């Protein structure tokens, strides 16, 4: 297990999702006090109920900067500090060519996947600067450095920008004892894939040299490693976890 003993108060957004829930679980198991934040409060509450007293659910819409500021403020009021943050909240968006992409959908996807992460980092960084350090992991996608397929202009644009924003912020705040990295999951086994037709699912698996899809717990392992002191010299980096999909 990675060493997280020196930094114990953690915020995870998008905590009701498969990846977010898995990260909450591992952080709690490693002794952290975890704030599980999600716009879906009932989902966050279910995660907290399953993991015990180390996980506290809160409702958070990351597209609302005032709500984000209030959430971070409440964490500081209750716990006195914020040591770890995982900005995992995200939406997929619809699949249409760029010329046909609806404006409202464009703004919705960027509002969550890019602006929401910026809002979170803005207030997380203020808290971490004041206390002399902290660690942030931003959840991007294997589409962070390249567009592996079409029909996803908003999602790809947000993920590209997120990786760049991560690297820029990491460079700016390294001297303040703050590390910021990004993780890029590929196709991860989640409940939403249960609706995919068997032939389509088999075709998806066939695109992976690993011969399978990833598990949320595997993404959590990488994320929690980056949050640990074992990764103390890793900063401003992007790590894809996709079973070799993007290496084809």
Q: Point out the residues that are catalytic.
A: 155
Choose among 165, 139, 158: nearest CA to 20.
139
Burial 125-135 (b: 16+ CB within 10 A, else e): bebbeebeebb
- Spatial distance between the Cα atoms of 47 and 55, rounded to a whole number of angstroms: 8
What is the three-class DSSP state of 139? strand
> Which ranges constitute the DSSP H helices of the chain?
18-29, 41-51, 65-79, 103-110, 116-131, 153-173, 198-206, 216-226
Q: Say which DSSP state 96 is in.
A: B
Residues 6+ apart with CB under 8 A from 150: 97
């Amino acid at each position: 297990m990675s060493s997280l003993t020196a930094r114990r108060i953690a915020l995870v957004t998008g905590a009701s999702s498969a990846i977010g829930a898995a990260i909450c679980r591992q952080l709690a198991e490693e002794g952290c006090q975890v704030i599980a934040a999600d716009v879906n409060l009932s989902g966050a509450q279910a995660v907290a109920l399953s993991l015990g007293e180390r996980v506290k659910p809160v409702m958070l819409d990351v597209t609302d900067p005032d709500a984000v500021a209030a959430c971070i403020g409440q964490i500081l009021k209750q716990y006195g500090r914020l040591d770890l943050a995982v900005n995992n909240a995200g939406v997929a968006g619809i699949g249409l060519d760029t010329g046909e992409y609806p404006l409202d959908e464009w703004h919705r996807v960027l509002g969550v996947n890019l602006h929401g992460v910026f809002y979170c980092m803005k207030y997380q960084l203020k808290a971490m600067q004041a206390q002399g350090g902290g660690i942030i992991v931003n959840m991007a996608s294997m589409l962070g450095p390249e567009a592996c397929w079409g029909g996803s202009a908003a999602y790809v644009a947000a993920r590209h920008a997120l990786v760049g924003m991560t690297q820029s912020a990491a460079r700016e705040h390294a001297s303040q004892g703050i590390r910021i990295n990004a993780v890029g999951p590929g196709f991860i086994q989640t409940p939403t894939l249960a609706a995919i037709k068997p032939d389509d699912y088999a075709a998806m698996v066939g695109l992976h040299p690993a011969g399978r899809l990833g598990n949320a717990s595997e993404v959590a392992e990488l994320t929690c490693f980056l949050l640990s002191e074992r990764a103390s010299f890793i900063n401003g980096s992007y790590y894809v976890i996709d079973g070799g999909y993007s290496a084809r």
